[in-house]
Structure 1
Amino acid sequence: MQSAADHSHPLFGGALSAGLPHSATDISELREIPDNQEVFAHAHTDQSLIVELVEYQGQVAEQDAARYHFEDIAGSNKALEPGAFEVTSVVSVPKCELSLTDCSSAWMLTGTQRVSKFNEEARNTVTLHLGLLRLPQFSTDVLITFNDPQSISPDSSSAASVGTHRQPWTVQDFQHLMQTLTLHNPGLFG
């Protein structure tokens, strides 16, 4: 059996790299992806992983930054109404567990959001694991998001993939990506 990731995958033209889990499909090969994102989907499930470079939010306290970004994602997902999102845990990640030791702090948040895909009416419940690596010296927050659908509405376009879950990604796969994220070229940040 293969480990979560046996090799490092270049991100952002090789400026960063990280260990990706098995069955990761690069979505940029299928459709346009913003320059500040690397998006991967599981080949057989509706899971996705996103590595995103966003503006450092200096006005947000370190311990509140992951929640800030989670709520921002909920807004983008149109999941801000009461009961549509919930944070279940936020923990600090020790820098000794990371390859990207240049960060001022690192956080892991777990929560749920009720979201629709492609602006459909149908809502799916998704567990969202968010890794946040703060790089104030580069005015950047690095977000790593693992979207793990828990319940798919029968009316969702994602319903077709239900029941075909073969070796879904795990939280350990997500943690491995976060822990192996490595910076090779600081020029990425401008």
Structure 2
Amino acid sequence: MQRAPQAHPLFGGALSAVLPHSTVDTSELREIPDNQEVFAHAHTDQSLIVEVVEYQAQVADQDAARYHFEDIAGSNKASEPGGFQVTDVVPLSQSELALSDCSSAWMLTGTQCVSKFNEEAKNTVTLHLSVFRLPQFSTDLLISFNDPQSISPASSSAASSGTHREPWTLQDFQRLVQTLTLHDPGLFG
């Protein structure tokens, strides 16, 4: 009999969520900003980021996912023409979310053409981004799933991209989003 997946503590237990299989906590490998939890797939170049950012009051709820996606594109230097594209933005039903404190939640799917570690080689990455709006805490909570679609042979990721042993799926990401739970609002200040 298979056990139900266990929720993983995030931000010292202030949040929790069910993470997919083969998850490596990136903070054990390199320095991660305090407002992020970053996980990498053990065998693919996929990654998941849970991020606490400032609530953008000037951005309408239905535009929040696109706003943050474009901000991430800028940080990834994917902002040149053709560097990023939004494919879909949909509202998430709060009845399906464990994080019921949010005023609204959205999921965006898009692509970004990005370099890893400031290399010249560009990789095409599908980015799934969920945004939980928490105005009462002056916070937008972001969960992003980076799923590389094509890796340049000149990229440092090319060596790890050959063997895709059970990559994460959109369903794995959706389960993480749906199981995200707030345990301590003190996280938000």
In the alignment, is residue 122 of structure 1 matched against residue 131 of structure 2? no
Tell me the amino acid that sits aligned with residue 133 of structure 1.
F
Partner of 2:46: 47
Partner of 1:69: 68
1:160 is paired with a residue whose SS is coil
Deviation, structure 1 residue 92: 0.1
Percent identity over the alignment is 81
Within 2, Cα distance between the matches of 1:157 and 1:96? 42
Partner of 2:9: 10
Partner of 1:56: 55
| TM-score (ref. length: structure 2) | 0.98
| TM-score (ref. length: structure 1) | 0.98
Partner of 1:91: 90
2:89 is paired with a residue whose SS is strand
Deviation, structure 1 residue 25: 0.3
1:110 is paired with a residue whose SS is strand
Deviation, structure 1 residue 37: 0.1
Paired residues, number: 189
In the alignment, is residue 79 of structure 1 matched against residue 71 of structure 2? no
Structural mapping, 1:28-39, within 5 Å: 28-39=27-38
Deviation, structure 1 residue 2: 6.4
Partner of 1:169: 168
Within 2, Cα distance between the matches of 1:188 and 1:159? 37
Within 2, Cα distance between the matches of 1:112 and 1:79? 10
Structure 1 residues 2, 87: closer, same or farther in 2, change over 3 A? farther
Tell me the amino acid that sits aligned with residue 123 of structure 2.
N
1:143 is paired with a residue whose SS is strand
Deviation, structure 1 residue 163: 1.7
Gaps of 5+ in 2: none
Partner of 2:108: 109
